[in-house]
Every structure is written in structure tokens, then in C-alpha cells.
Structure 1
């Protein structure tokens, strides 16, 4: 029997599997697609953006260089080998409702508790690249991956979960559903899935244009919808505000895509050939909880929304990072009471916020007699320093805040990448998936207290290049600050909340 079965070998499922295996759990991944490299994951249809928060996550697990190489992106390792203490201004920003924003308008002074890091910027990648890196990592840690095994039945009791897939029966202690927006695990396990119905049908395709000059690059909002051309050859995206009524079970023919494109663009553009095509909607739904007994959900299995702003993959990676260490600690018997329940408590509000962010963009882009006035107003607001900074905070993935109760303002936020005088960085100390206590003054009482969590926490002491006025910081395995201060008693309370002390 495996400790965990993960349904789905996409980025989220593979990341969860890798986190569990890193902690010594036995993991089986079941994937319904027999092809490890489906064409829809490759460029151009597989184009995705990793925000700065996701890049930071890969850095914290030692995967940043591999991810950058697979994505064809040279990552500038800001501050990695220098004495810099100031965070550089953002170089790139996302968009809001197709309206590009200038990184120069971000008020960096309003972005507290940041430090230079090798992972400062997001970058473009593909689902294929992300999946390949994570699959290699998972396999190297002993994860077993079975392809061509679609889940068809799920049952559970107080002790285990039974999964039927590909005609085989697999028992495990836990099941994590990472099987996408049409999740079979979600349906079979009886999760409530609630939200809003779609306003548009979206299309993404790789085509050959007879006359591409008729369609300018970038986002193009029109009276009938939106179309997007990227520099990738033949890459086309469209939003048709039809109420989501297109029958997505029908094949996407050249004639249909050309008709939609002509109506939206107001041109007589000709599509010579359609090589690949897929459709989607802006249906925005979320499960009311991310756990039901011994079954948990992550990624699109737990929440779906339109791809506007490129938040879906990043949201799923955040789920995986939050869930992995908590489930592993539960399996190993070293989790404090209620640790696994904090997964829903922390990640559900983040997901709900992303769904609303997506809905707001769709509402701004929807055609209608009042649409130009609304878009002009939003455009003006977004171009102010406050508006641009708001978008950066919402989309960079660096500023999520989990409510951990009272304490230091940094508690519940992603930890700055503190760097010791010897060059050791917090990101380096998180590679093995353990919590870290950073003690910048080598306090004897804190060091003594940390001994109670040997094997749960890595203790690191010494002066830092910039400690932001802090004496000591307790960081969870997912890089979130659990405590900051200098008092032994409050440290012990925080440590006991997240890390069960070894038996005497």
C-alpha cells in the first residue's frame, strides 16, 4: 500500500508527489493520458507564465536552474553573489483585462519585507517544460508514475482510500486529486463545486494565416470580444461573449474558428489551416472545502476560472507547496493536531480571490454600450501608481497573506530571502523541505529551545547582510513565516503550532 495516490501527472500533481517523496512518503501517480508529452502542453498552446511567487517556489526546492533551462530563459541571479541589500524594481508586469501596465509605475516603497533573491521575476514557459522538470524530480525521488490509468472509482473509510484506475485496484492511505477542471476524483468523492456560469467561450489555436498583417499583435478588444496574437508563429487566442453556449464536444473546424475570428476582429482574415485548437470558458467554480476525509484536492480540481492573467498554474503550484509538507507530516506522525485542516483554511481564500480577480477582468472586457466607458475608467485607475502596485501585488504571487493570528506583520507571508554573511541563503536552506529557524544573533536561549524540534527544523545562526531589523525568524517548509521576534516563549508557541516536537 502506498502512503499517497496522486491522480493527475500535470504540474500540480507532480509537484505534490515530489513534496511527499522528499519527506520520505511512498507515492503513486495515476495519469489517464498515456502520452507523457501531449501536443497541447507544448508551445504555442502550452504557453504559460510563471509569476515571481512560483519562480520563488522552484528556487526554494532547488529547481530554478532546471526550470529556466527547460523554458529557454536565462534567469538573472540578482544578489546571489553580491552584497546588495536593495530589492530591484520589477521589470515586467502582467495585464488587467488585456490592458498592459508599466512596471515603472510600481511603488516599490510600498512593498515591505523584500530582499534581493535569485528568484525576483516571473517568466514565460510551457506546460511541457514545467511537467518535464517536475516529472524528472519526482522520479528521482522514487515516485511511481502509471500512465493510461483513468480513475473510475473511489471509496474510503477511516483508515485508507481505494482507487480503481485502468482496470486495476490501488489502496493507499490518502488520495490527492490533481486531475484538472473536470476532475473525476472531485465528482466521485462528493465535493461541492459552486460558483458562476460562463459569459464567453474562449479559443486558443495554432493556425496558418493567409494574411496575418490584418491582425496586430497583442490584446485587441473590440465591440464583439477580444482576440490575441503573440509573437509565437500562428498563435491565436479569442474570447467570444456567447454566454459559453458553444458545444465544446464538437470539433473545432477551420470554418468555425475563421467565422468567430472575423466577427470579433471585424476583418475578412483567412485561416489557411488549423494545426491545433482548444476551447475553454470563464466558468468560475470552487469546492467549498479542499478535503473530504482522506481525499484532498489541489489545482484545477479544486478551482477553475478563466485563464485571464495567467493565474491558474501559479495558483495550483501554491496549493501543492502548501499541501505537500502538511500531508507528509501527517503521514509520518509528526504533525500537530489540525495541521492538515489548515490547508483549506489557508488556500481556499487565495483561490476565491483569484476567481474574483478573473471575474472582474471578464466583466471589464464584456462588450456592451457601457463597455468603452468602463474600460476607460479602469484603464486610468490602473495606470496610477496605486493601481499598478495593486495589480503587481495581486499577480506577482509574492504577497499572499495567511491569517496565522496575532504576531509580527511578516507572519503568514512569504519570507524574504535572508542571506547570511557567508553567502548562505534561506532559499538554499529550504531545498530539503524542512522548516528553518534563522537566528541572526545566535541567541543561546533560542538555540536551546530549537533543540526540542531536532529533525523537524533546521537551525541556522549568524549575522545576515540585511536582517530587516529582525532578531530571529521561523520559516515553515513552504517558505511562509510562522514567527518573527526574539522571545523564547512565543517561539515555542509558534513552533508547537506547526511542528510536533519529538518524543523525549
Structure 2
């Protein structure tokens, strides 16, 4: 006899994607719990911003104001301690080419562009704080200091072995446990991709004798480096192969030697507050689902952090998976709905992996690549080049393969941020995670208890899923 599940869903991993999946499920009334191996939240320096897709995900759930408050504080800190720079103002980079802000078309915020079209500057650990508060508000238990040591899936659910002694039973298991996912490996899901060739280091440090270092992104014959924008933040990339031990503590001596090698400076690292190593290992799971086991975030795809698209990618995974899994748990939809998760999210993962691979190729310090970079620099110093690069970094514009999407560009994409007749933005209606029917008055709502009907004059009627994607719309006139 199959054991009764302890939870509808167990989520392995309490990082951004695991917390977002859990929040989406709890919002939909699913009994969900999170298993996290770390005993305390991870405050290691990681990503420093979220791109457009993540911005819109937070906006649809009422979390954007909290992120914008963090950005306001962080940007004030950046301004007070900005490292010395020369030339026109820049923001972000692609392949270590700083993007010139004076050439960038930044649309004004408005109902058609969304609240923040490009990005929000927020350290990853502060985003996690917002999401932890969210799951706590929704009553989701988070069990810290517990490892998943094995899984036994069957037709009715998954028995999850845990390091704290007893197994737990769930109808569904979501692996959001990172690039070395125990869940993915235990489920027998492959992880093909390309092997690493670089060692990247990022840290918050105190520097001395660094007056010759200029802020921003730089590329030279010995690698890539960046100083700022956060006070004391340094980043180096060397093309001498992956680190021998990626998990070993990162010392001041190691950071100082790397910084000196790539910059030629005599700068000294006198203290380390936070540091990490990373590589350009780029892989994607051969399947995002194996029966009752599903993958999200780095468990489904890993890539180097160039361009800052990682958080946008994983939060979009969570938004897509959350509502679908909730529908299946409640019996509102059949399991075949979960079969749409992989084909809808895989192209986005592929696009990010390809963009980061291209950036690594363009950052190599060999003579042929250095020659190529001179031509690329000319292109990226033009209005067209800067805006094309910014569009790439804003996140992949994936057209989900939904019925009718081949004939209508609106179907399968994030809904436009229209202004409703009552003055609200469309995203403001989505706080409860329900479907939204936008009508001009000619289409009636389904009255199924799962859909909120709103009116927007002059807008084509459309049905918007809980993740913000348009699933149906009226024919174009």
C-alpha cells in the first residue's frame, strides 16, 4: 500500500527558484514544504541585478516595491563610493564591453512598457530575503540543515530520503537544488553541455595601493576584470582552465594574485568580506520532468553569470511550473499539463546558455579574439549595437508553443502591460495568482472561480495565465 503523502509537494532547495516555486504553490492553496541543506541563508556575493523577465515576475506578485526599495539604497551606496571612471557613462556589459548609456534608448515607464523595462539592481541575497518573507507570509515551512540523500519515485508520488533521519512522502518533488542537483542525479536525468575553460572570481574586499585601477569592465591580454559598482567589489576572469577545487575557501592571497595577473596593478587585497569562484560550465538537463520529479533553476540549467540573466531565467521557470503543478495537484488539469513545462522553458534556457557561451568566446585573450574584439567594439559604440546588446541582456523573448501562437505573436508571450478602465495596471490584478481575462466588454468571463475578469477599452480580449503569458486572445481585426 502506498504511504499517504506528508505534503502535496516537496521542494528541494531554498534559493530564489525554490522559494519562488513554493510561494506560487502556496498562493494556489497547495500544501508545500521546502528542504534546504544550508543552516543559514547564503549571503555570499553572487548576482547583483535582475533583468526584465524577473522584474515582471515580481511585479505580478506585488514584490517589486520591496525590490525597488533595495535598489534605491544600493544605488545610493554605489554613488557615494563610485570608483574612478573615464569616458561616457556605462551600465552593464556584454562580453566585458561596457554598454554606453548615452546611446541606449530607455523607454519611459508606462502602461505599455511595464514598471521597469530593463532591470533592477538588487543583490541576490537581498532578493532571497524578499522571497523568504513571502513564503513565511504564506505559511510555507522551510526545513534548514537537511540534505536530500535519495529518492524513490513511483506512480503515485516520491519518497524522499533525508539526512535528518526519516523519509518524507510527497505527491510531487521539485528539484531546485542547484547545478549539482542530488534530485536530478537520483532521478537519472542527464546533464549534457560544454566543459569549463575559465576560472572566475568575484569578491567584496578592501583594497590598498589601487589608485591605478579604474572602475568598470576591462579586457586585456591576460583576462577580464571589473571594479565596482558595489564598494569593494572586484571580479576577475582568467582563461587558464577551471579551478582545481572550486569549493575551497577563497583567500585574500588568491584574489590579489589574480587581480595583479589580469590588471598588471600592484593593488593589495587587505581583507575579504565575501568571495566566490565560478566557471563557464554550461549544461542543460536532458529533461525537466521525470514522472513525479521536476527540475527548476540551476538544477535544470547552469551557465556563467555574464549578463546577469540567471535570476530572470530561474524565476520565470518557477512562475511557469508553479501554476501548472498547482492545477495538477488540485485535479483541475491532468498531468499532461506538466508536459508543457519543458518545451515552454527549454528554449529560454538554451538561449541564455548560447549567449553566455558567445560572451566567453569573445572574451578569450588570444590574438585572433583580440582582433575580433576591435571590430566588435566599433559595433558596440553605435546606437544600433548598444540597443541590440541591451535587448539580448533583457532576457530571451521566448514564444511559448501554445495553440495559435504560430499565427498570433501575442499568444505565448508575456502580456502587454495595458492600463485597465479602472486605472490599474494589468500586473496589479495578478497578485492572487489567478487567470485574468481582459475584455473590452464583448467577451464574458467564464465564471469558473479561477479567473478574474477585467475591462480594458480598445484592447483585444485576451486570457492571461497566472505566469503572465497570454494563452488565448480574440482574432485580430
TM-score by length of 2: 0.89
Gaps of 5+ in 2: 1-5, 76-88
Q: Distance in 1 between matches of 2:243 and 2:424?
A: 55
1:4-15 residue pairs with structure 2 within 5 A? 4-15=9-20
2:201/2:278 contact within 8 Å kept: yes
2:47/2:305 contact within 8 Å kept: no
The CA deviation string for residues 378-405 of structure 1, in whole angstroms up to 9 with x for no partner, is 2223344443333232221373322324
2:13/2:175 contact within 8 Å kept: yes
Q: Which residue of 1 aligns with 2:136?
A: 139
Q: What displacement does 1:293 show?
A: 0.8
TM-score by length of 1: 0.85
Secondary structure in structure 2 of the residue aligned to 1:212? coil
Q: Distance in 1 between matches of 2:231 and 2:282?
A: 30
Q: Which residue of 2 aligns with 1:472?
A: 461
For residue 485 of structure 1, the aligned residue among 466, 474, 477 is 474
Q: Distance in 2 between matches of 1:378 and 1:307?
A: 21
1:157-172 residue pairs with structure 2 within 5 A? 157-165=154-162, 166-172=164-170
Q: Which residue of 2 aligns with 1:120?
A: 117
Secondary structure in structure 2 of the residue aligned to 1:231? coil
The CA deviation string for residues 31-80 of structure 1, in whole angstroms up to 9 with x for no partner, is 000113x331xxxx2452111221111111111112222444599xxxxx
The CA deviation string for residues 356-386 of structure 1, in whole angstroms up to 9 with x for no partner, is 1000000001110112211122222334444
1:243-258 residue pairs with structure 2 within 5 A? 243-258=241-256
Q: Distance in 1 between matches of 2:46 and 2:243?
A: 24
Q: Which residue of 2 aligns with 1:498?
A: none
| Aligned-CA RMSD value | 2.4
Q: Which residue of 1 aligns with 2:3?
A: none
Q: Distance in 1 between matches of 2:396 and 2:248?
A: 40
For residue 242 of structure 1, the aligned residue among 240, 243, 255 is 240
Q: Which residue of 1 aligns with 2:448?
A: 454
Q: Distance in 1 between matches of 2:395 and 2:131?
A: 20
Q: Which residue of 2 aligns with 1:420?
A: 420
Secondary structure in structure 2 of the residue aligned to 1:204? strand
Q: Distance in 1 between matches of 2:105 and 2:273?
A: 43
Q: Judging changes above 3 Å, is the alpha-carbon distance between structure 1 residues 31 and 245 closer, same or farther for their aligned structure 2 residues?
A: closer
Q: Judging changes above 3 Å, is the alpha-carbon distance between structure 1 residues 398 and 65 closer, same or farther for their aligned structure 2 residues?
A: farther
Q: Judging changes above 3 Å, is the alpha-carbon distance between structure 1 residues 431 and 95 closer, same or farther for their aligned structure 2 residues?
A: same
Q: Judging changes above 3 Å, is the alpha-carbon distance between structure 1 residues 376 and 39 closer, same or farther for their aligned structure 2 residues?
A: same
Q: What displacement does 1:116 show?
A: 4.1
Secondary structure in structure 2 of the residue aligned to 1:209? strand
For residue 39 of structure 1, the aligned residue among 34, 40, 43 is 43
Q: Which residue of 2 aligns with 1:356?
A: 354
Secondary structure in structure 1 of the residue aligned to 2:413? coil
Q: What displacement does 1:320 show?
A: 0.5
For residue 24 of structure 1, the aligned residue among 15, 29, 50 is 29
Gaps of 5+ in 1: 76-90, 488-504
Q: Which residue of 2 aligns with 1:382?
A: 380
Q: What displacement does 1:102 show?
A: 3.3
Q: Distance in 1 between matches of 2:282 and 2:198?
A: 12
